[in-house]
């Protein structure tokens, strides 16, 4: 696919669950634990799984990368005037700092990435405003059709924020017109438990294909909740951007070698 003819946005979410004990009343807790049948291990498994649902979890960061701007900057000849290029950001991370609004956003771009701190409703509004402003019409994710896209659409409903783009339009067979999900591309749209079409993590694919893994800095997705509770917002934001850059690099390699 010729992505230079489209306005391409690579994005990724980081989420954290609500506190089970304080968020829900007794009847809701009973409902959520209904199929654990009083088994403590199953109850823990159910509670841990709530992080993946937009009705029981919240967005703590959305990292966004303009695919074409990123590679235009990366591929600049060293002899060209980089001072011109660095004035235009290629990435933005919207960060949820609602647990400590006293922490301000970094004032300057860091490696051409802007960090914007706000509560979650404004985080979601800012994400949709970015899509509207730059008229993005193609989206790139890793497992986004199954997770990131439905999650942000439903969080928008819950927060009463109108989306500027329907990230779940079409069907699972037609969404490729506007969305490249690399999880599906690397399993040829139908993964299996074993064999050539087995699905792996982004970290694994990056390691096998010589791309810097987002986990290389020692942060992983299962640490995000703890980091959020400890108000380590910038660490979450940089980790999320690392995921997005890795996804962009993965697409670049895939598209230039086997996407024929």
Please list, residue by residue across 103-125, b when 16 or more beta carbons sit within 10 angstroms of its beta carbon and e when fewer do: eebeeebeebbbbbbbebbbbbb
Residue 203's contacts (CB-CB under 8 Å, 6 or more residues apart) are 213, 214, 215, 220
Residue 187's contacts (CB-CB under 8 Å, 6 or more residues apart) are 197, 198, 199
pLDDT by position in tens, the chain (length 260) = 888 889 999 999 999 999 999 999 999 999 999 999 899 999 999 999 999 999 999 999 999 999 999 998 887 744 455 544 455 689 999 999 999 999 999 987 777 999 999 999 999 999 999 999 999 999 999 999 999 999 999 999 999 999 999 999 999 989 999 999 999 999 999 888 999 999 999 999 999 999 998 776 667 767 899 999 999 999 999 999 999 999 999 999 999 999 87
pLDDT of residue 77: 45
Spell out the domains of the chain, with CATH numbers in brackets: 3-15+58-257 (3.30.420.10), 19-55 (no CATH)
């Amino acid at each position: 696919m010729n992505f230079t003819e489209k306005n391409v946005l690579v994005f990724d979410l980081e989420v954290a669950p609500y506190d089970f004990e304080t968020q829900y009343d007794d009847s809701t807790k009973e409902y959520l634990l209904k199929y654990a049948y009083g088994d403590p291990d199953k109850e823990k498994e159910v509670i841990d799984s709530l992080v993946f649902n937009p009705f029981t979890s919240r967005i703590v960061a959305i990292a966004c990368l303009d695919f074409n701007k990123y590679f235009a900057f990366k591929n600049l000849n060293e002899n060209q005037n980089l001072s011109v290029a660095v004035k235009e950001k290629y990435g933005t991370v919207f960060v949820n700092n609602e647990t400590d609004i006293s922490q301000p956003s970094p004032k300057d771009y860091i490696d051409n990435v802007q960090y914007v701190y706000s509560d979650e409703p404004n985080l979601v509004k800012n994400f949709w405003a970015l899509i509207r402003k730059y008229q993005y019409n193609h989206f790139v994710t890793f497992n986004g059709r199954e997770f990131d896209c439905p999650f942000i659409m439903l969080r928008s409903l819950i927060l009463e924020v109108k989306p500027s783009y329907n990230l779940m339009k079409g069907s699972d067979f037609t969404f490729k017109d506007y969305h490249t999900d690399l999880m599906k591309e690397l399993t040829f749209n139908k993964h299996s438990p074993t064999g050539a079409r087995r699905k792996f993590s982004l970290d694994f694919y990056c390691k096998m294909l010589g791309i810097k893994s987002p986990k290389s800095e020692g942060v992983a997705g299962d640490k995000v909740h703890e980091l959020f509770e400890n108000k380590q917002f910038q660490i979450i934001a940089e980790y999320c951007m690392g995921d997005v850059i890795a996804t962009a690099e993965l697409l670049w390699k895939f598209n230039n070698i086997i996407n024929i």
